[in-house]
Amino acid sequence: MTPATPTILTLKAFLLIPALIISMICCRSAIADSVENIGPIKPATVRPEIIRPETTLGLQAFFQTLDYNWTQLENGVPPFILEGIPSDLDDSVSTTDKKMAFFMGLLPMILLVNQEIAREREEVLQILARHRVMETRPGDRNRLEEIMGRYGLRGDPLTDHRSRSRLLRRVDTIPPSLVLAQAANESAWGTSRFAQLGNNLFGEWTYKTGAGIVPEGRPDGETYEVRKFSSIYASIRSYMNNLNRNGAYIKLRQIREDLRKTNQPVTGIALAHGLQNYSQRGEEYISEIQAMIRHNKLSRINSASLRRPPVKDILTSISTAGSGLFSTRNRMIGHLANVWSNP
């Protein structure tokens, strides 16, 4: 299926989201591996908006237009894609509001990526089930090979039980609490140079010259760069695929599989034990990520789900000229815009 061209949405808004209390200690590190190509995004059940906030106040106002409240996630999380972190995030609002805007801005995209992964896992299970009863359909094998490639695997899961086990161990979701804690830690709440210039929230590297940002103090003779992404969504998607396929995180995937087999909840605190190789600080880094999850009560968001859109658009076309909040173009804002593309 050929992905559709994305629709980019903008708006003018005037309300500010109420301040919510949250605090967190943050420090940063870098990951020394990355996945360069994880394939096209498939059409999703929930179609998000794409927004380009120019200011943090504008992003907060956008949250209010959607009735999106961090304390009421049981009402569902509105689907949208944030193309970049506002450049004034570090100095335009209080520390509390900065952290809240960061969490709320990222959560919808994390849920969108998990939705994609869950759909792939269900597809794999259905193909394997059909094969067991000798009802394999044309295209099943090619689809399995496509998914295997996305997760860095070879073999034939239809005939090899070890390939099946490896595939199901990798094609699985990541707890949102872990993603948010690492994103905040690695990007200094989205204010780092790499987050602002390259939409890179997780310190992923690339060895393709010119595809990233050369870090200050890079040793002579080294060629790595900190990878640049087209959007925050692309960074989140790459990071989650990295955890699911990189050999450095076998332990994380094994912990997750063991929890699944025993019908226990898969939590960020549990999976953090598999991040030994994410930072040179090892166990100290793991403890820090777990402390961030606990301190900010992020475990509760592991059960959050995307809000399903209404049948018709809920917002109207608004002129943004001179608003200073978002881009100055006029666009139609609504939940039905198809944004799927190959980032």
Of 31, 53, 40, 88, nearest to 333 by C-alpha is 53
Question: What is d(CA 191, CA 326) in angstroms, rounded to the nearest whole number?
Answer: 18
By the 8 A CB rule, do 213 and 194 touch?
yes
pLDDT at 308: 79
pLDDT at 39: 56
pLDDT at 310: 60
Of 213, 150, 148, 167, nearest to 187 by C-alpha is 213
Question: What is d(CA 208, CA 224) in angstroms, rounded to the nearest whole number?
Answer: 8
pTM of the predicted model over 0.85: no
pLDDT at 94: 84
Three-state secondary-structure class, residue 227:
strand
Question: What is d(CA 328, CA 226) in angstroms, rounded to the nearest whole number?
Answer: 31
pLDDT at 38: 60
pLDDT at 228: 94
pLDDT at 145: 95
By the 8 A CB rule, do 59 and 101 touch?
yes
pLDDT at 337: 30
Residue ranges, the chain, pLDDT below 70: 1-46, 309-343
- The single residue listed with the structure tokens 């869950």 is 118
Q: In the CATH scheme, what architecture does the domain 8-21+28-303 have?
A: Orthogonal Bundle (1.10)
Distance of CA 287 to the CA centre of its chain: 22
For residue 71, how many C-alpha atoms fall within 13 Å in the half-sphere facing its CB?
Answer: 6
Ordered by start, the domain boundaries in the chain are 8-21+28-303
**Close Cβ partners of 296 (under 8 Å, ≥ 6 residues apart):** 22, 23, 24, 99, 103, 181
pLDDT at 249: 98
Strands 212-213, 225-227: pairing kind: antiparallel
Amino acid residing at 46: V
